[in-house]
């Protein structure tokens, strides 16, 4: 059961081989056993999960089950869930119990899924290692001395360690794909606007996008079917017809044009990662794909532009955390201004404070043109690069991350080194394109390598098709960390 696909789990439930209560207990037991080591979950609430499981079993008994009814799903602790502690990995929300459900949480509830727990993450999703959480770092299931990637590291680790069969995350600069790569699981960032941001605690609103984590591309398709959809409560939610993201999974790859960007195979790419990605490209060619060299000449500027745009938007979004209406408030203060200053100094961790300061600076009087406007122009150049590339290819494929998982603590003292982890993932966020990471081998220390697949707008079904065909021919995505309790 721990290794079963969502389809298999659903079939077991339908055939009454297992109940949702049994399935939920199985994964809760797994969490109880492993969370002490991995720290992948911030909140687990057996009673709430089991109540949902019992309700799901009733639906199944009545013959009213949908594809995910009774299936446990872990949500990143960035999604507000009614009556669940929702911390966003921060001290400033350490006492925040959700008064409502995020759109995504509501969608899973309506589908009859079981919320199995809230996963650990970098504070306010600002990080690439899940070390900046107020609740302590998440450990990589493949090697507990290493990071799982971030910011959605708890969700990635939960899938890798089989603590949940499915999970959600958010991706502003790579926060689904990079942890998926470093933890050896599959993850998808949809086209910007496909999944509602309502109830998803905002980091950088023009980039933030929610998406699924699972063991396989097929599972991702089933999860995206539940998550995607128009929501009038999100002003950038896209109105378009519903589609079945699993419809093209088995389509043959003959004639597929795979764009390979020179810029993502140069300096900075570790040899072990490069070798695994090359082998994966060779596999795709064997499956009928054609390799097309492409150029993304401005992609080297993406990290610079991102570290203007994301902090600028964050400094505005995070101004709401002031200790007045909810969350942590400093104990001692002299007046209102002092209450704000102390609450925010004590409530935010170092990386969040740093990004608020960058954002405040670049938006301050006299600097707007030199930073924010300049970054938005670079953003256009990066989006144009992709538009040109997609005239010649169907997908852009390369490495997700320049290296395999690094040691906990290795990059915490140097923010710039940490930021460069996302050099291959950030361009898709700036352009708003859908992109996935799937396991494609192992590098140094037996740690997983991720293959990055970027598609044109709304090409999720195509990305999942290519990922699924690859996964039919390979077993990297079925490999499990050894050394964990089985």
Partner 1 sequence: MSLSLKEVLDVAALARIGIGEAEARAVQAELNKIFELIGRMQKVDTEGVEPMTHAQGLALRLRSDAVTESDQRELFQSIAPQTEAGLYLVPRVIE
- Binding-site size for partner 1 (CB under 8 A) equals 72
Which residue of 2, 95, 275, 288 would you call a contact of partner 1, by CB under 8 A?
95
203 — phi, psi (to 5°)?
-115, -75
Which residue of 50, 55, 279, 383 would you call a contact of partner 1, by CB under 8 A?
383
Least distance from partner 1 to the Cβ atom of residue 85, Å: 11
Which residue of 333, 412, 472, 480 would you call a contact of partner 1, by CB under 8 A?
333
Stretch that binds partner 1, among 64-72, 149-157, 415-423, 472-480 (CB under 8 A): 415-423
Least distance from partner 1 to the Cβ atom of residue 386, Å: 11
Give the active site residue among 10, 133, 151, 152. 151
Residue placing its CB nearer to partner 1 in the complex, 105 or 281:
105
- Report d(CA 210, CA 100) in Å as an integer: 18
Give the active site residue among 19, 20, 76, 216. 76
Q: Is 375 in the site for partner 1 (CB under 8 A)?
A: yes
With b for 16 or more beta-carbon neighbours within 10 A and e for fewer, the 328-344 pattern comes to bbbeeeeeeeebbbbbb
Q: Is 96 in the site for partner 1 (CB under 8 A)?
A: yes
Contacting residues for 470 by C-beta, under 8 A, at least 6 apart: 217, 280, 283, 284, 287, 438, 440, 451
Least distance from partner 1 to the Cβ atom of residue 18, Å: 37
5 is catalytic: no
Which residues in the 427-456 window bind partner 1 by CB under 8 A? Answer: 430-433
Which residue of 17, 377, 392, 407 would you call a contact of partner 1, by CB under 8 A?
377
Which residues in the 336-365 window bind partner 1 by CB under 8 A? Answer: 336-342, 344-345, 348, 353-354, 356-358, 360-361, 364
Least distance from partner 1 to the Cβ atom of residue 446, Å: 32
Least distance from partner 1 to the Cβ atom of residue 406, Å: 19
10 is catalytic: no
Which residues partner with 365 through β-bridges?
Answer: none
Q: Is 366 in the site for partner 1 (CB under 8 A)?
A: no
Give the active site residue among 19, 133, 175, 299. 175
Q: In 3D, which of 367, 484, 382, 375 has the Cα closest to residue 433? A: 382
Which residues in the 232-261 window bind partner 1 by CB under 8 A? Answer: 232, 235-236, 238
Which residues in the 293-332 window bind partner 1 by CB under 8 A? Answer: 298, 300-301, 303-305, 307-308, 315, 319, 322-329
Binding string, residues 195-234; x marks residues near partner 1 by CB under 8 A: -----------x-------------------------x--
436 — phi, psi (to 5°)?
-130, 160
Least distance from partner 1 to the Cβ atom of residue 335, Å: 5
Q: Is 85 in the site for partner 1 (CB under 8 A)?
A: no
151 is catalytic: yes
Binding string, residues 153-192; x marks residues near partner 1 by CB under 8 A: --------------------------------------xx
Residue placing its CB nearer to partner 1 in the complex, 312 or 440:
312
- Catalytically active residues are 76, 151, 175
């Amino acid at each position: 059961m721990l290794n079963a696909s969502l389809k298999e789990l659903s079939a077991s439930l339908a055939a009454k081989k297992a109940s949702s209560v049994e399935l939920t207990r199985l994964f809760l037991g797994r969490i109880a056993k492993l969370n002490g080591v991995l720290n992948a979950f911030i909140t687990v609430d057996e009673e709430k999960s089991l109540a949902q499981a019992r309700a799901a079993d009733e639906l199944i008994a009545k013959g009213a089950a949908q594809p995910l009814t009774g299936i446990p799903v872990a949500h990143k602790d960035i999604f507000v869930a009614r009556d669940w502690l929702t911390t966003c990995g921060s001290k400033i929300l350490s006492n925040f119990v959700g008064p409502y459900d995020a759109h995504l949480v509501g969608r899973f509830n309506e589908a009859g899924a079981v919320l199995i727990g809230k996963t650990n993450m970098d504070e306010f999703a600002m990080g690439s290692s899940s070390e900046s959480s107020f609740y302590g770092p998440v450990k990589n299931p493949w090697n507990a001395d290493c990071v799982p990637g971030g910011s959605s590291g708890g969700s990635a680790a939960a899938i890798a360690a089989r603590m949940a069969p499915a999970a959600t995350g958010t991706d502003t600069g790579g926060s689904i794909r990079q942890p998926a790569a470093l933890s050896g699981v599959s993850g998808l960032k949809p086209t910007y606007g496909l999944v509602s941001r309502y109830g998803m605690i905002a980091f950088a609103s023009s980039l933030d996008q929610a998406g699924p984590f699972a063991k396989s591309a097929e599972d991702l398709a089933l999860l995206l079917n539940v998550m995607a959809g128009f929501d009038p409560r999100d002003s950038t939610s896209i109105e378009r017809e519903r589609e079945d993201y699993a419809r093209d999974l088995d389509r043959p790859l003959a004639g597929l044009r795979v764009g390979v960007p020179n810029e993502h195979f140069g300096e900075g790419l570790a040899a072990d990662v490069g070798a695994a990605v090359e082998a994966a490209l060779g596999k795709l060619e064997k499956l009928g794909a054609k390799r097309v060299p492409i150029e993304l000449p401005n992609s080297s500027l993406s990290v610079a532009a991102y570290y203007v745009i994301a902090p600028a938007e964050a400094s505005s979004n995070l101004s709401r955390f002031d200790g007045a209406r909810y969350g942590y408030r400093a104990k001692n203060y002299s007046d209102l201004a002092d209450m704000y200053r102390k609450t925010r100094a004590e409530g935010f961790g170092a990386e969040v404070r740093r990004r608020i300061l960058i954002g405040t600076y670049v938006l301050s009087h006299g600097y707007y043109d030199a930073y924010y406007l300049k970054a938005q122009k670079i953003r256009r150049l990066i989006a144009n690069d992709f538009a040109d590339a997609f005239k010649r290819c169907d997908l852009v494929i390369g490495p997700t991350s320049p290296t395999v998982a690094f040691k906990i603590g290795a990059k915490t003292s140097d923010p710039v080194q940490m930021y460069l982890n996302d050099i291959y993932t950030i361009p898709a966020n700036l352009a708003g394109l859908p992109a996935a990471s799937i396991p494609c081998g192992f590098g140094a220390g037996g740690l997983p390598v991720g293959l990055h697949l970027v598609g044109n707008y709304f090409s999720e079904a195509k990305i999942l098709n290519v990922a699924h065909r690859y996964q039919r021919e390979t077993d990297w995505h079925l490999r499990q960390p050894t050394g964990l309790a089985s």
